[in-house]
């Protein structure tokens, strides 16, 4: 294993359905990352296709955005750039699988031209988008293992633990989040679109919103714990700015295995943050030491159905509250 590895995460405002524009933006960040010696670069969820306009499309509209990992032009371009710059580049798109289904997917394009694809396991964006059913952890040329969890995948603590147990040292966590209308009384709330549109003249207000309860403060309630409790680095990438009728809050950040923020931005703008990861932090991190004390014989309840489980769309949007059992 290398002693350290240079990583970077990107936040940028995509254009709905405009792959040409979004890939152009990504090429610019990739070039900048290459100049800075970045080895692992993470872009946001569905950044190639756009995100929050997708729920409003019909089935044919979603299918028109989808492409195959093997033959699609978008992944082909990212793969080519990964080989050119000897970089791992992660990018989100809508996949047309060999099984004929559509997936919210994330392609980790490798320096040797290979691709590892993660399919979001808790997809809720559109009825025509299926959920994946496999964890994604793979080797890299630098001796570290990388895992991928997309957006809501990261909200369920079991997924982060499973990814760590499969050996992930670094977790790519691409999102499109912030500024959503949470049904929870203390969850995220919408950020006015006009505030984003007037960000140049209201910089203090937009910064406060991005750092506040609907942005960074919400992330700090749970995201660092995924890194800390599992002893792995997290590369959090996110959209930023107007995304259909919502405002994404960016907050791209890199978190170490102790849950500490290594680098971050709360800029109301397209941005990239990078950091050299000290891989020697992993073996003796608190989470790794706690994991050594696991007692799997006690955890059967984690795989038992409790009766209130729902599909991802219902769980995400239903007004029904789960009837949690008490024992």
Provide, rounded to the nearest whole percent, the portion of the chain with pLDDT above 70: 97
- Inside any domain, residue 207: yes
pLDDT of 325 above 70: no
Q: What pLDDT shows up at residue 105?
A: 99
- Inside any domain, residue 307: no
Name the more confident of 35 and 319: 35
The residue behind tokens 């009728």 is 245
Asked if 274 and 8 touch (Cβ cutoff 8 Å), the reply is yes
The whole-angstrom separation of Cα 137 and Cα 168 is 6
Section 137-141 average pLDDT: 98
The bridge status of strand 253-255 relative to strand 271-278 is: unpaired
- Inside any domain, residue 304: no
pLDDT of 327 above 60: no
**Residue range of the domain that includes 106:** 4-296
- Inside any domain, residue 302: no
Q: What pLDDT shows up at residue 240?
A: 98
Q: What pLDDT shows up at residue 321?
A: 58
Q: What pLDDT shows up at residue 235?
A: 99
Section 201-211 average pLDDT: 98
- Inside any domain, residue 325: no
**Residues whose CB is less than 8 angstroms from the CB of residue 135 and which lie 6 or more positions away in sequence, other chains included:** 147, 159, 162, 163, 166
pLDDT of 326 above 60: no
Burial string for 84-98 (b: 16+ CB within 10 Å, else e) reads ebebbbbbbbbbbbe
Q: How many domains does one find in the chain?
A: 1
The bridge status of strand 136-139 relative to strand 145-148 is: antiparallel
Characterise 168 by phi-psi region: left (phi > 0), alpha (psi -120 to 50), beta (else). beta
CA 12, 241, 60, 98: dihedral to nearest 10 degrees? Answer: 30
Q: Domain containing 181 — which CATH number?
A: 3.60.110.10
Q: What pLDDT shows up at residue 310?
A: 84
- Grouping H, G, I as helix, E, B as strand and the rest as coil, residue 315 is helix
- Inside any domain, residue 316: no
> Judging by beta carbons within 10 Å of its beta carbon (0-12, 13-18, 19+), is residue 104 exposed, middle or buried?
buried
86-103 per-position pLDDT tens digit: 999 999 999 999 999 999
The bridge status of strand 102-109 relative to strand 88-96 is: antiparallel
- Inside any domain, residue 231: yes
5-54 per-position pLDDT tens digit: 999 999 999 999 999 999 999 999 999 999 999 999 999 999 999 999 99
pLDDT of 69 above 60: yes
- Inside any domain, residue 324: no
Burial string for 255-271 (b: 16+ CB within 10 Å, else e) reads bbbebebbebbbbbebb
pTM summary value: 0.96
Token digits of residue 50 = 């756009």
Section 292-301 average pLDDT: 96
- Beta strands (DSSP E) in 110-177 are 115-119, 129-130, 136-139, 145-148, 170-174
């Amino acid at each position: 294993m290398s002693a350290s590895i240079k990583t970077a995460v990107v936040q940028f405002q995509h254009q709905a359905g405009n792959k040409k524009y979004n890939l152009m933006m990504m090429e610019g960040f990739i070039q900048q990352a290459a100049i800075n010696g970045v080895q692992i670069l993470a872009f946001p969820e569905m950044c190639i296709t756009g995100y929050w306009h997708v729920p409003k499309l019909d089935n044919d509209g979603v299918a028109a955005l989808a492409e195959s990992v093997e033959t699609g032009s978008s992944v082909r371009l990212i793969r080519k750039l990964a080989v050119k710059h000897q970089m791992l580049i992660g990018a989100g798109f809508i996949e047309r699988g060999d099984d004929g289904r559509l997936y919210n997917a994330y392609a980790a394009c490798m320096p040797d031209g290979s691709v590892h694809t993660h399919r979001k396991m808790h997809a809720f964006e559109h009825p025509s988008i299926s959920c994946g059913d496999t964890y994604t952890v793979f080797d890299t040329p630098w001796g570290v293992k990388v895992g991928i969890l997309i957006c809501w995948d990261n909200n369920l603590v079991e997924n982060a633990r499973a990814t760590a147990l499969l050996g992930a040292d670094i977790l790519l966590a691409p999102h499109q989040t912030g500024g959503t209308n949470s049904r929870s009384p203390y969850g995220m709330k919408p950020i006015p679109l006009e505030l984003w549109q007037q960000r140049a003249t209201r910089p203090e207000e937009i910064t406060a919103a991005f750092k506040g309860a609907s942005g960074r403060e919400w992330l700090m309630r749970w995201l660092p714990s995924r890194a800390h409790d599992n002893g792995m680095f997290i590369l959090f990438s996110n959209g930023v700015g107007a995304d259909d009728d919502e405002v994404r809050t960016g907050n791209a950040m890199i978190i170490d295995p102790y849950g500490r923020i290594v680098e971050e931005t709360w800029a109301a703008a397209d941005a990239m943050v990078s950091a050299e990861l000290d891989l020697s932090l992993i073996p003796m991190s608190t989470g790794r030491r706690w994991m050594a004390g696991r007692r799997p014989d006690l955890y059967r309840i984690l795989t038992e159905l409790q009766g209130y489980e729902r599909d991802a769309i219902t769980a995400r949007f239903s007004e029904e509250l789960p009837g949690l059992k008490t024992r």
